[in-house]
Amino acid sequence: MSQADLAIESLSPHGAEAHGAGVMEESPFAIPSSKLVMWLFIISDACTFGAMLFAYGFIRNSAADWPQVFESASIWNSLLMTFILVSTSLTVLFAVKAAQSEDRAGAFRWTMVTAAGGILFTLLHIREWLSLIGQGARLFQNPWGSPMFGAAFFSITGLHMAHVVGGVVALIVVGLSYRSGRYAARHIEIWALYWHFVDLVWMFVVPLIYLLNMKR
Amino acid sequence: MSDMSVHAAVHGAPTSFIRKYVFSLDHKIIGLQYYALALVAVVTGMVLSWIMRVHLVWPNAPIPGLGALAKVGAPGGVVTPEYYLQLMTMHGTLMVFFVLTNAPFAAFGNYFLPIQIGAEDMAFPRFNMMSFWTTFVAFCILISAFFVGDGPPLSGWTGYAPLSAVGKDAGPGQGIGQSLWGISIFVFCIASLLGSLNFIATTLDLRTKGMTLSRMPIVTWAWFITSCIALLAFAVLMPACLLLILDRVTGTSFFIPAGLNVGDHIQPHQGGSPLLWQHLFWFFGHPEVYIAILPAIGIVSHILICNMRKNMLSHRVLIYCMMAIGFLSYMVWGHHMFLSGMNPFSALVFSFPTLMITIPATIMTLIWLGSLYGSNLRINSASLFCLGFISMFVSGGVSGFFLAQPSIDIYLHATYFVVGHFHMVMGVAAIMGVFAGTYFWFPKMTGRMMNETLGRWHFFLTLIGTYAIFMPFHYLGLAGNVRRYSAFQDDFLVPLIPVHKFITYAALFTGAAQLIFIANLVYSRFKGPQASPNPWECTSLEWSTPSSPPPFDNFGGQHPVVHHDPYQYGVKSSTGDYIMQTSPGPGAAS
């Protein structure tokens, strides 16, 4: 993605893009168009994850031999990942606060802390993937039971991981550009929205993918 | 007349050819690009349907030139049964995605939505350009399936699993062809999502002073509601395509059950369900029907009001009906699956909201007819096509009552009855809306009038022709003629061949009649008489632009100010019997 795309510049007259204030009708939501578009994207992306999780539930319910795979080490790992991701929701909030009070250095710092949390999350996740792969799990088979376990696990967590990686890249670009003054505070805020959403999706992934498939 | 405040354009007019006509940021050019793409797709799709029709009644007749394109599928130009299905798949996919989604929604919406709300462009011009070119890439990927491997897929536009998921064993085109299909639709979803984000943001945020939501024309509302539907629908089709591609490429089994025997060997898959694909696909697929028809409903209502010279009995109720249809469209996907092996009790759950949809649809029809009754309708090509739309919408919609009921659907399922139903109600009706829009807006898009005589010939031939094609479909279905058979030899369907012959003649004739339209389009573009800025004496903002076609920023550096509801007709004013939305001063009922 280029920087121009991340900035999602619009013709909207609202907020900081107020070139047309006074000749336009008020937006019903009183937020910049770029923020509206992020909300709309989140709604649509929620449908995408909803469809993935529906497919998982459909397959899981119809399988006679769905494996219970995760040992306590995996669960602890996922809880650690959850802790990190939830913490970054807090740090990105600090970044937004700093940006809103025009503290460019502070906003940059918190954005980078958030991105670092995202990277750490991804690394832990990759480690988890590698460990499962090492035990013989593949997209199309696994040693424990229904071959669809691997398909569901890797596709859903993979889609989520792609969202995290995308968010990390976006946060780094937006943080750097905000520090250099090219971007405004609302850009930080918009990508913070996205980051919260990725966090929220994980809140569904953990119970449905990890806790339901815990070894008993 | 109009009260405008001077304001500078946001982004400057482009000068280079590439920026102006190819990678254009201008919503008007992008709208025309979508229209051109839809035109290419519709001609391709129509030619495919001709080949299918000819093959159905003369199964051994060689089709000139086809042998060179498809050496395996049509050796010597004679279509094989498999190639018949491949043509059918491509016909459906092209028509549903690249014609019915693109023409009434993306093409006209792009061109006129920003102008109708008084904006200079879409909210995100760069996204807009990206959505068109992404659609174009999807189109190229789909068409390339004709030229690689053993041709395009044969699993239908619905891509039903497990046929679509198991790969080469399922028949010609199920290898690389089906993969290209999946990728093309995936890319198309991305394009449509970008487009609908942009439409929603534009409608909500870029309305000019005075253009409150309630003052937007019906057709603006239709595009807005359609974008809301598309935003959720394509977001579900996208992961469905992703899982399908995973099944095909990486060997997962989301849509493939255990022990499936295809092509004489057991497939190395287990754990999935073909029903899952149907759930995901139709969760998109049914709203998609309304993505095709709602813009046409909007276009037709908009044009009818202008030509009746009075408002609808209630144009608000029309808008509420469209919202109701959009909402209900998400609860009815299971009515495509009555016979798929779903729990039979759930058929009732899906049947009920399906029948509910007839309520807003009937209210809309009654509003159209009630408004037309006693009105002094101006007869021209555009208004004729609007009447044609209503006729098709009703004729095709009535058969929906039958199909919505599981007990009747058991008999009619997968027969020509269904094919006739959806071709009339979402295919021909939506296309009638596109024709109406073309005749109506052509003067604004090109600055020239279309030829009225040719337009009327086009209308009457199309109306008679499409009825001649699709009405007998219902009869064939009632007689038990199953769809997707490539020929009728030595079976109980042989007595129906004369009906099929009639349909084939009608299809060739109706297709040929479209040449009148193409000729009119090309001739009028260059030789048509100059159009005045507002030839139909219409009140909405697209007719307030300083020139036809409108300048780069639509209103010549100004922001129009809106003073009225969209449809001020049948009132006394200095201009005649109508008041422009931009006219200051009192309106009839503002």
Q: Which of residues 40-59 of A touch B (CB under 8 A)?
A: 40-41, 43-45, 47-48, 50-52, 54-55, 58-59
Measured between CA atoms, the residue of chain A closest to residue B279 is A55
Measured between CA atoms, the residue of chain A closest to residue B206 is A12
List chain B residues with CB under 8 Å of A37.
Answer: 123-124, 197-198, 201
Measured between CA atoms, the residue of chain B closest to residue A31 is B205
Cβ pair B380, B455 in contact under 8 A: yes
Interface test with B, best of A29, A33, A53 (most B CBs within 10 A): A33
Contact yes or no for A55 and B253 at CB 8 A: no
Q: How close does chain B come to A197, measured CA to CA in Å?
A: 16
Contact with chain B for residue A29, Cβ under 8 A: yes
Domain ranges of chain A: 35-213
Reduced 3-state DSSP string for chain A:
CCHHHHHCCCCCCCHHHHHHCCCECCCCCCCCHHHHHHHHHHHHHHHHHHHHHHHHHHHHHHCCCCCCCECHHHHHHHHHHHHHHHHHHHHHHHHHHHHHCCCHHHHHHHHHHHHHHHHHHHHHHHHHHHHHHHCCCCCCCCCCCCCHHHHHHHHHHHHHHHHHHHHHHHHHHHHHHHHCCCCCHHHHHHHHHHHHHHHHHHHHHHHHHHHHHECC
Three-class SS of residue B466?
helix
pLDDT for residue B397 = 94
Interface test with A, best of B186, B244, B252, B561 (most A CBs within 10 A): B252
Contact with chain B for residue A140, Cβ under 8 A: yes
> For residues B351 and B217, what is the distance between their CA atoms, to the nearest angstrom?
33
Q: How close does chain A come to B432, measured CA to CA in Å?
A: 31
> For residues B161 and B164, what is the distance between their CA atoms, to the nearest angstrom?
5
| Mean pLDDT for chain A overall | 90
Q: In the 8-state DSSP scheme, what is residue B349?
A: H
Share of chain A above pLDDT 90, in %: 82
- The secondary structure element, H or E, covering residue B191 is helix B176-205
pLDDT for residue B94 = 98
Contact with chain B for residue A181, Cβ under 8 A: no
List chain B residues with CB under 8 Å of A155.
Answer: 242-243, 246, 252
> For residues A180 and A191, what is the distance between their CA atoms, to the nearest angstrom?
17
Interface test with A, best of B115, B205, B342 (most A CBs within 10 A): B205
Contact yes or no for B210 and A25 at CB 8 A: yes
Q: How close does chain A come to B232, measured CA to CA in Å?
A: 5
Cα torsion for B540, B542, B548, B549, to the nearest 10°? Answer: -160
> For residues B439 and B504, what is the distance between their CA atoms, to the nearest angstrom?
28
Q: How close does chain B come to A91, measured CA to CA in Å?
A: 29
Measured between CA atoms, the residue of chain A closest to residue B122 is A11
Q: Which of residues 189-218 of B touch A (CB under 8 A)?
A: 193, 196-198, 200-201, 204-213
State which amino acid sits at residue B13. Answer: A
Vertex B501 angle, CA B500 and B503, to 5°: 65
Q: In the 8-state DSSP scheme, what is residue B272?
A: -
Residue from the list A36, A44, A51 with its beta carbon closest to the beta carbon of B231: A44
Which residue do the tokens 């992404």 mark?
B134
Q: In the 8-state DSSP scheme, what is residue B208?
A: B
Contact yes or no for A62 and B273 at CB 8 A: yes
> For residues B166 and B416, what is the distance between their CA atoms, to the nearest angstrom?
28
Cβ pair B229, B290 in contact under 8 A: yes
Contact with chain B for residue A100, Cβ under 8 A: no
> For residues B11 and B203, what is the distance between their CA atoms, to the nearest angstrom?
19
Residue from the list A58, A146, A150 with its beta carbon closest to the beta carbon of B276: A58
Q: In the 8-state DSSP scheme, what is residue B47?
A: H
Residue from the list A47, A55, A63 with its beta carbon closest to the beta carbon of B232: A47
Q: In the 8-state DSSP scheme, what is residue B564?
A: S
| Mean pLDDT for chain B overall | 93
Residue from the list B206, B235, B275 with its beta carbon closest to the beta carbon of A11: B206
Q: How close does chain A come to B370, measured CA to CA in Å?
A: 34
Q: How close does chain A come to B26, measured CA to CA in Å?
A: 13
pLDDT for residue B263 = 87
Domains contained in chain B, CATH given: 28-257 (1.20.210.10), 300-313+325-528 (1.20.210.10), 534-590 (no CATH)
Instruction: Using pLDDT thresholds of 50, 70 and 90, give the confidence band for residue A16.
Output: very low
Contact with chain B for residue A157, Cβ under 8 A: no
pLDDT for residue A111 = 97
Cβ pair B210, B188 in contact under 8 A: no
Contact yes or no for A44 and B193 at CB 8 A: yes
pLDDT (tens digit, 9 = 90+) per residue, B503-542?
999 999 999 999 999 999 999 999 999 999 999 999 999 9
In order of A119, A192, B62, B188, the CA distances from B135 in angstroms are: 33, 30, 34, 5
pLDDT for residue B572 = 83
Query: Could you report the average pLDDT of every consecutive run of 10 residues in chain B (590 residues)?
Result: 37 79 94 97 97 94 90 92 96 97 97 96 95 98 93 95 92 94 98 97 95 96 98 97 96 94 91 95 96 98 96 95 97 94 89 95 97 95 98 95 93 96 96 98 97 98 98 96 90 93 97 97 96 94 94 90 93 86 70
Q: Which of residues 530-589 of B touch A (CB under 8 A)?
A: 559, 561
Cβ pair B109, B199 in contact under 8 A: yes
Q: Say yes or no to pLDDT of A9 above 60.
A: no
Q: Say yes or no to pLDDT of A18 above 70.
A: no
Which residue do the tokens 């050496």 mark?
B71
Q: What is the largest CA-CA distance in chain B?
A: 79
Measured between CA atoms, the residue of chain B closest to residue A53 is B239
Name B177's Cβ contacts closer than 8 Å, sequence gap at least 6. Answer: B86, B145, B148, B149, B150, B151, B152, B153
Contact with chain A for residue B497, Cβ under 8 A: no
> For residues B41 and B101, what is the distance between their CA atoms, to the nearest angstrom?
11
Contact with chain B for residue A35, Cβ under 8 A: no
Q: How close does chain A come to B7, measured CA to CA in Å?
A: 8
Contact with chain B for residue A139, Cβ under 8 A: yes
Q: Which of residues 279-308 of B touch A (CB under 8 A)?
A: 279-280, 283
Contact yes or no for A147 and B208 at CB 8 A: no
Is the pTM higher than 0.80? The answer reads yes
Q: Which of residues 54-83 of A touch B (CB under 8 A)?
A: 54-55, 58-59, 62-63
Measured between CA atoms, the residue of chain B closest to residue A33 is B201
Q: Say yes or no to pLDDT of A7 above 70.
A: no
Report chain A's terminal Cα–Cα distance, integer Å.
44
Which stretches of B309-380 are DSSP H helices? 315-328, 344-372
Contact yes or no for B559 and A23 at CB 8 A: yes
Neighbours of B91 (CB within 10 A): 22
Tell me if the bond preceding B549 is cis, omega within 30° of 0: yes
Measured between CA atoms, the residue of chain A closest to residue B3 is A23
Measured between CA atoms, the residue of chain B closest to residue A8 is B124
Look up the ipTM and state it: 0.93
* Chain centroid to CA A83: 14
Instruction: Using pLDDT thresholds of 50, 70 and 90, give the confidence band for residue A53.
Output: very high
- Smallest Cα–Cα separation from B78: which of B63, B91, B68? B63
Contact yes or no for A23 and B208 at CB 8 A: yes
Q: How close does chain A come to B231, measured CA to CA in Å?
A: 6
CB pairs under 8 A between A and B: 150
pLDDT (tens digit, 9 = 90+) per residue, A84-106?
999 999 999 999 999 999 999 99
Contact yes or no for B209 and A25 at CB 8 A: yes
Contact yes or no for B283 and A51 at CB 8 A: yes
Q: Give the architecture-level CATH label for domain A35-213.
A: Up-down Bundle (1.20)
Measured between CA atoms, the residue of chain A closest to residue B276 is A55
B559 phi/psi in degrees, rounded to 5: -110, 115
For A6, the token pair is: 């991340």
Cβ pair A45, B235 in contact under 8 A: yes
